[in-house]
Each structure stands twice: as C-alpha cells, then as structure tokens.
C-alpha cells in the first residue's frame, strides 16, 4: 500500500476518532485473494479522503463460522472480545467488506452489548456516491457485461439488493441478471461454515452450479460483494477452464475504474 | 318420526365437530411440548403479515401457475364454507335454502351464482393439480420423502375436494330442476348447474330428483365433517395453521440467529479480570435442571418451530431452492419439517397411550433427521424465503447443529479444526493474530 493504514489504537493515541472503523475480517486480513479486496476498498476510502481505521492486531474473528456451525461458545468468546475492544474505542460506525462480518455485527452483537451503525462496503460506497464524495467514471468498463452474484448474508439475510447494483450501474457496463438473483439468489456454497469443510456427498458442488449459471449469461465479469463468494466463484470459473471471465469484488471494480 | 332427519343431522354435526375439537386440542397440547418463546411483540405488524401472507396469499403467487390455482381453491373453500351456515340451519330446522329469506332473492341469487362459479374454478384447479402432481414429473413432487402416505395424502385431498364440489353441483342441479317444475320454491341462480349438469337431470322423476338432491346434500355435509376430521392426519392442516403460523413468524432479519444467554453468562465470567479463579462455585440450586444446548428432540425446540412442523403442507418450495438439495445432497428442508412433525406425532401417541411421555428411546436427531442432512446446510435462508407461510426450517437445523457441537462435540473434523483455530488464533485459519495487519504493508 502506498499510504499508511491507521489503527484505532493510533487514532486513540492522537486523541482522535476516525469517521468509521473498517472491520477487515479474517478473509480480508489473511486470504491472498481477499486481501486485494481489502486494499481496493482502502484505496477508495483514501481517495475520497475518509478518515478510517482498522483494529489491526486487536481484531478477532467475528465468530460467524463458529456460530453457523453451532458453536455458540466460540462465537460469543469472539463477539465479546471484539465488543469489549470496540466499546473501549467508543466505536460508532463500522464498515465491512464481508457480509458475514456485516450481518453478525449488525444483528447479533447488539444482544451482547455491541451497538453500532454497521454498513456493508457497498452501502457505504453508495452513500458516499449519493453525497457526492465518491465520483465514479466508468469508462474502462464500457461495453463489458457484468453479472452480480448476491451474497446470501447481504441479500436474503438483510434485504440489501440495491446498493451493489447501483454502484455497478455507474460503471457504464451492461448489468445482466442471473435467473436466480436477489431474493431468489443461489448460495455460492461457502456459507454456514461450509467454506471450511468438504461438502457432503452429492452430484456436484454448489459453487459449480452457481458458476455455471453465471457463465450462461456470457459475462465478462462476475461481480461479488463477499470474499467467500469471490473464492467460490473464482474456483468455479477455474473449474470450467474459463480464462476470459474474471471474478471481481465491487470494490475492486470501482478502484479499477478510478485507476487506483 | 318426522324429525328423524333433523336428529340424525344434529348428532352427526355434534360428533363431527366434537372429534374435530378433540384433534385440535391434541395438536395444541403437542405444540406446548416445545419451549416457550415470546412472539407477542409488534402486534400491528403481525396482523399485517398474517393478512398479507396467509389471507392474501402474497407469497403463493411467486410461482404464478400454482399460485393462481391455489387461490381458486382457497377462495372457493372460504366462500363455500359460508354455505355451511345454511346447511347447518337447514339441517337442524328442516328449512330449505334458509339464507334466501335472510338475503332476499336477488342477493341470494348473486350469492349462489358466485358459489357456482367458484366451485367450477375449484374443480378445474383440483383436476389440474392432480394431473400436475402425478403426471408432470415435477421434481419436488416426486422426491423420496413423499413416497407413501405423503403422496397418497396429497391425492386424497384433491379427490375429496373434487367429490365435495361434485356433490355440490349435483345438489344444485337437481334442486334447479325441481325449482323449474315448481316442486321446490324458486331461490337462487345456478349458472353452472342450470347450463351444464341440469339438463342431465331433466328426465329424472320428481322423486328421483328429491332423492338425488337430498343424497348430494347429505354427502356434501358428511363430506365436510369427514374432511374436517381428516385434517388431523393430513398435511392439509395448513388451511388452519397457516394463520397463526404467519402471525408468530420471526420478524427479525433472516440472518440474525439467537444468542444463547446461558453461554453469555459463562463467557462474561471467563473474561472478567476480577473474577476469582479459585473461588468456590456458587451454591447450585438442587432443583435446577442444567441447560441443554441446542436440540436433539422436539422438546428442545420452541413452540413456533413445532407449529411450523404442523403447518407445513409439504409443497417442497423450500427444497426446490435449497442449494444443497439442488446439488444432490441429502438435505431437504421439507424433510426436516416432515420429520419434526412425525416425531411430534410419535410423542403425541406415546402421551395418549401412557398419560404422559414415557421415554421411547428415540429422538428427532438420528432416528428421523440424519447428521449428514444437518451438515449440508449453507444457512443461506433460501428455504425460509421460499416458504409461502413463513416456516423457518433453518432455525431447526441450527438448533440441532448446536446440540451436535456443544453437547456431543460431534462436528465434522474440519470444522473442529476451524473452531480450534478461532479459539487459539482468533481466525478460522491457522494464522498468527500478530500478522493481521500484514496486508497493509504489502504491495
């Protein structure tokens, strides 16, 4: 990164508070592919001039995979740890690039004493766009076909279908919808802790089914809004030996449009 | 002896309704076997949801063909039941088409004509449903979990509805001919019976017509009583339970799972720096039953989940959108609901027999629902979204996973590894927490 990412601790040491806490998440911190999404999002925030911070080493897993697997102990251990730290920094507003972090902090942390305004990065970026702080020139994507894969934990779980689409529309590309989209969207196969295990026996893997559907729309780009969807769809595209179609997070597409 | 009809009618009615209320009481008792759950908040919103989803069928029309046919049958059913009032009064007091006197002739004609049109729509819908269900090879109707009783049940419902409507038309047709012959006073208008079936009865003698009319009338009435009592054994129970089921639906975001309070207490104590690790454990209440985590049997599920199971009509819309099921895994959300109901009924029979539940060595888990089914779920909420009456199969799956993980430590090995990683490194992968910000300095 060619600028410095500041932590909450550093802001606190300066006696200041950032506009928003970027909760990076495990995938965004450690997974090589997801790190690119993290960086792209940071570049946009930096370009717009948003004062943001991350928790850095003080961040813990949000607890989602443990919770969905049924381990309430491990979930609450993580949740209460994060809440304690975030409350100590008097965090008000959180943005995430991962719908799983977004969902759990927004919906399940309040019951444990963590009350914040939580936004998915597509919601945050849309807000910046509406406020005129973020301007998107989509020239690079003119004539391209993009299909968006709805993440379950953003869409069905929280009813947000429009924010990612409104951002994509700004790219001047042709947005094509898969047959199963929005509230009927098909899971990528990673949710519910499936990311961390082999699937149960069946005819095919879920991500293959989903990628097949996406590819049938003949897109140039499959857009995602979740690091796990991104991995699953990338694997799916590889499975079909397709070198033409790329899988990109909306943050990456916006950063590319701005040549960041 | 002239009152014999009325007496038989009255006895049939009392027995029919009596048995029906006995069944309802049993269902209510069984639902109470579940854990208490408070879903009495936001009443205005709940009434609205019930009006839209159960009464207004708003989610049914997401699949337009099935949805519209279903609305025919549903509206027909509701309005034809208004006629039940007339049947009961006529039956007890020996009157004939008593509503005509109340409504006045023109309004009554409108009423009977509407009924006729609706009954015809019901017949058409029921026939199409039968063909569609049995000969179209629609996947959700040909799946393994429907073999046997569930499949027969579905067909019986259609056959009974067809027979009831046919009795209704036979009754009206013979009545209409008798009215034409001025044997009966002319009341009502019968567009279908007069034009389609009526001509068939023209050659009948008066007595044969009276016999046919009475026969169809009795068949119709006894049929309704029978159908009402059949509900207890049938997936058709949804015609009643869809209403409370939507009223008590979960209003929280679909992605929000419950937080177990008992766990919070433990973890807060664990994290409290002032807690004395050597302190003696507080005196335990000897009567306190240690809380069980998650669900292995119906007693561990909440009452709304049990009502969900009774409300399910096995349409399979949930299963047809389930990513695990689509890709050939064993999980079928519909089967989760069917299994849950089967187990509730098994427990119910046990209670009927023994006066209270006597351990039968069986559980919902393993004896009905297999672990492989539970572990195939991606928690994507497609099943929850798809249900036309807001059943939540996912909540049951999650409760059962909680039991497997927290009571039995029986998660798949890879998930155990993932959970250990989270405990040790605060990340599902084996990375060092100190490396969390490495990305910020990489190119």
Please check whether residue A3 lies inside any domain of the structure.
no
Residues A12 and A125 reside in one and the same domain: yes
pLDDT of residue B282: 67
Which of A77, A99, A129 is the endpoint of a domain? Answer: A129
A211 in any annotated domain = yes
From the candidates A10, A33, A54, A71, which should be mutated to test the interface with B, based on the most B CB atoms within 10 A?
A71
Tens of pLDDT along chain B (443 residues) come to 578 888 999 999 999 999 999 999 999 999 999 999 999 999 999 999 999 999 999 999 999 999 999 999 999 888 877 888 888 888 888 888 888 888 888 999 999 999 999 999 999 999 999 999 999 988 999 999 999 999 999 999 999 999 999 999 999 999 999 999 998 888 989 999 998 888 888 889 999 999 999 999 999 999 999 999 999 999 999 999 999 999 999 999 999 999 998 899 888 888 888 877 777 766 767 777 778 899 999 999 999 999 999 999 999 999 999 999 999 999 999 999 999 999 999 999 999 999 999 999 999 999 999 999 999 999 999 999 999 999 999 999 999 999 999 999 999 999 999 999 999 999 999 999 999 999 999 87
| Same domain membership, residue B123 and residue B16 | yes
DSSP assignment letter at B298: G
Q: Is the pLDDT of residue A202 over 70?
A: yes
Indicate which CATH number applies to the domain containing B139. Answer: 1.20.950
Domains in chain A, number? 2
pLDDT of residue B1: 58
Picking from A63, A192, A260 by the largest number of B CB atoms within 10 A of its own CB, the best residue to mutate is A192
Domain co-membership, A167 together with A249: yes
Q: Do B439 and A183 touch (CB under 8 A)?
A: no
Count the neighbouring beta carbons within 10 Å of the beta carbon of residue B94. Answer: 13
Torsion over CA: B381, B385, B386, B387 (sign): positive
DSSP for B181-214 reads TTSS------HHIIIIIHHHHTTS-HHHHHHHHH
Statement to judge: residues A171 and A125 lie in one domain: no
> With the C-alpha atoms ordered A65, A235, A22, A177, is the resulting torsion angle positive or negative?
negative
By residue range, what is the domain housing residue B140? 4-31+63-235
Please tell me the distance from the alpha carbon of residue B295 to that of residue B301, in angstroms, as a whole number: 6
Look at B254 and A156 and tell me if their CB atoms are within 8 Å: yes
Given an 8 Å threshold on Cβ–Cβ distance, is B329 in contact with A68?
no
Whether the per-residue pLDDT at A223 is higher than 70: the answer is yes
| B349 is a domain residue | yes
Residues A148 and A236 in one domain: yes
Q: What CATH number corresponds to the domain at position A65?
A: 3.40.50.1860
Nearest CB among A1, A63, A74 relative to B440 is that of: A1
- A108 contact residues in B (CB cutoff 8 A): 256-257, 259
Nearest to B419 among A1, A66, A106 (CB): A66
pLDDT digits (tens, 9 = 90+) for A21-64: 999 999 999 999 999 999 999 999 999 999 999 999 999 999 99
Report pLDDT for B87.
87
In a domain, B145, yes or no: yes
CA distance A117 to A95: 8
Picking from A100, A129, A158, the residue at the C-terminal end of a domain is A129
Is A195 a domain residue?
yes
Whether residue B319 is found in the same domain as residue B199: no
Q: What pTM did the predictor assign? A: 0.94
Q: What are phi and psi of A254, to 5 degrees?
A: -65, -40
Of A61, A196, A202, the CB nearest to B414: A196
**One domain for residues A59 and A102:** yes
Residues A21 and A104 in one domain: yes
Q: Do B402 and A70 touch (CB under 8 A)?
A: yes
CATH at residue B301: 1.10.1060
Q: Is residue B81 part of a domain?
A: yes
Contacts of A232 in chain B (CB under 8 A): none
Residues of B in contact with A192 (CB under 8 A): 377-380
In a domain, A203, yes or no: yes
Is residue A207 located within the same domain as residue A187? yes
Identify whether residues B219 and B300 lie together within a single domain.
no
Does residue A8 have a pLDDT over 90?
yes
- B414 with B315, same domain: the answer is yes
Q: Which domain holds residue A222?
A: 136-258
Q: Does A158 touch chain B (CB under 8 A)?
A: yes
Determine contact, residues A149/A185, Cβ cutoff 8 Å.
yes
Cβ-nearest to B380 among A56, A106, A191: A191
Strands (E) in A41-170, as ranges, are 52-53, 93-96, 117-120, 145-148
Do residues A169 and A253 share a domain? yes
Q: How many domains does chain B have?
A: 2
Q: Are residues B89 and B175 in the same domain?
A: yes
Residues B315 and B391 in one domain: yes
Give chain A's mean pLDDT: 96
Whether residues B229 and B126 fall in one domain: yes
Cα B51 to the center of its chain, rounded Å: 16
Tell me whether residue B56 is in a domain: no
Are B183 and B308 found together in one domain? Answer: no
Clarify whether residues A28 and A100 are in a common domain.
yes
CB within 8 Å: B434 and A57: yes
Residues B119 and B206 in one domain: yes
Task: Give domain status of residue B157, yes or no.
Answer: yes
Decide if B244 is inside a domain.
Answer: no
Same domain, A184 and A252: yes
Assess A184–B contact: CB distance below 8 Å, yes or no: yes
The pLDDT, as a whole number, for residue A254 is: 94
Residue B384 lies inside a defined structural domain of this protein: yes
Per-residue pLDDT averaged across A159-169, rounded? 96
Do A44 and A153 sit in the same domain of this protein?
no
Residues A88 and A155 in one domain: no
Q: What pLDDT, in 10s, does the model give residues A96-152? A: 999 999 999 999 999 999 999 999 999 999 999 999 999 888 778 988 999 999 999
CATH number of domain containing A216: 3.40.50
Report the chain B residue with the minimal C-alpha distance to residue A103: B255
Whether B211 and B272 map to the same domain: the answer is no
């Amino acid at each position: 990164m060619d600028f410095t990412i500041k932590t909450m601790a550093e802001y606190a040491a300066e006696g200041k508070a950032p506009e928003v806490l970027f909760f990076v998440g495990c995938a965004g911190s450690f997974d090589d592919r997801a790190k690119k999404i993290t960086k792209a999002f940071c570049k946009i925030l930096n370009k717009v001039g948003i004062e943001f911070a991350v928790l850095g080493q003080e961040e813990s897993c949000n607890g989602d995979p443990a919770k969905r697997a049924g381990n309430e102990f491990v979930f609450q251990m993580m949740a209460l740890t994060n809440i304690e730290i975030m409350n100590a920094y008097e965090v008000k507003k959180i943005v995430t690039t991962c719908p799983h972090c977004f969902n759990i902090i927004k919906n399940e942390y309040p019951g444990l004493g963590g009350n914040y305004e939580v936004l998915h990065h597509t919601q945050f970026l849309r807000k910046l766009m509406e406020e005129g702080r973020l301007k998107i020139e989509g020239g690079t994507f003119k004539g391209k076909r993009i299909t968006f894969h709805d993440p379950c934990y953003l869409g069905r779980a929280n009813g947000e279908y429009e924010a990612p689409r409104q951002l994509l529309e700004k790219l001047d590309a042709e947005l094509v919808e898969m047959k199963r989209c929005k509230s009927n969207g098909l899971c990528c196969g990673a949710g519910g802790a499936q990311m961390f295990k082999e699937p149960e026996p069946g005819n095919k893997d879920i991500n293959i089914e989903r990628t097949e559907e996406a590819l049938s729309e003949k897109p140039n780009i499959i857009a995602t809004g979740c690091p796990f969807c991104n991995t699953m769809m990338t694997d799916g595209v590889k499975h079909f030996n397709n070198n033409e179609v790329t899988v990109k997070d909306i943050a990456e597409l916006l950063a590319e449009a701005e040549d960041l | 002896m002239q009152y014999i009809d009325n007496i038989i009618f009255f006895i049939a009615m009392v027995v029919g309704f009596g048995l029906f209320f006995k069944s309802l009481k049993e269902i209510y008792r069984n639902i109470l076997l579940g854990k208490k759950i408070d879903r009495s908040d936001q009443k205005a919103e709940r009434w609205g949801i019930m009006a839209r989803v159960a009464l207004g069928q708003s989610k049914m029309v997401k699949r337009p063909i099935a949805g519209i046919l279903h609305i025919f049958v549903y509206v027909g059913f509701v309005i034809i039941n208004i006629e039940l009032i007339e049947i009961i009064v006529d039956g007890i007091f020996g009157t004939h088409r008593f509503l005509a006197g109340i409504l006045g002739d023109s309004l009554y004609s409108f009423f009977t004509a509407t009924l006729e049109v609706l009954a015809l729509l019901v017949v058409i819908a029921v026939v199409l449903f039968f063909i569609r269900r049995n000969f179209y090879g629609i996947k959700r109707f040909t799946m393994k979990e429907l073999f046997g009783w569930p499949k027969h049940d579905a067909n019986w419902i259609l056959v009974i509805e067809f027979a009831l409507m046919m009795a209704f038309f036979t009754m009206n047709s013979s009545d209409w001919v008798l009215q034409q012959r001025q044997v009966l006073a002319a009341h009502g208008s019968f567009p279908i019976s007069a034009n389609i079936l009526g001509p068939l009865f023209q050659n009948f003698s008066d007595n044969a017509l009276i016999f046919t009319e009475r026969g169809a009338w009795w068949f119709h009435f006894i049929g309704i009583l029978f159908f009402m009592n059949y509900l207890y054994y049938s997936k058709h129970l949804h015609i009643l339970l869809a209403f409370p089921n939507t009223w008590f639906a979960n209003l929280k975001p679909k992605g929000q799972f419950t937080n177990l309070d008992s766990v919070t207490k433990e973890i807060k104590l664990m994290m409290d720096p002032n807690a004395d690790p050597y302190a003696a454990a507080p005196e335990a209440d000897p009567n306190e039953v240690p809380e069980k985590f998650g669900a292995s049997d119906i007693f561990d599920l909440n009452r709304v989940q049990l009502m969900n199971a009774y409300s399910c009509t096995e349409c399979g819309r949930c299963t047809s959108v389930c990513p695990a099921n689509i890709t050939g895994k064993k999980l079928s959300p519909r089967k989760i609901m069917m299994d849950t109901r089967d187990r509730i009924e098994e427990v119910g029979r046990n209670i009927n027999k023994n006066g209270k539940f006597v351990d039968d060595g069986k559980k919902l888990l393993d004896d009905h629902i297999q672990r492989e089914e539970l572990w195939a779920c991606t928690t994507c909420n497609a099943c929850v979204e798809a249900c036309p009456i807001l059943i939540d199969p996912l909540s049951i799956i999650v409760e059962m996973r909680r039991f497997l993980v927290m009571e039995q430590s029986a998660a798949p090995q890879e998930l155990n590894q993932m959970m250990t990683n989270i405990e040790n490194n605060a990340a599902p992968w084996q990375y060092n927490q100190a490396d969390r910000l490495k990305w910020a300095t990489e190119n």
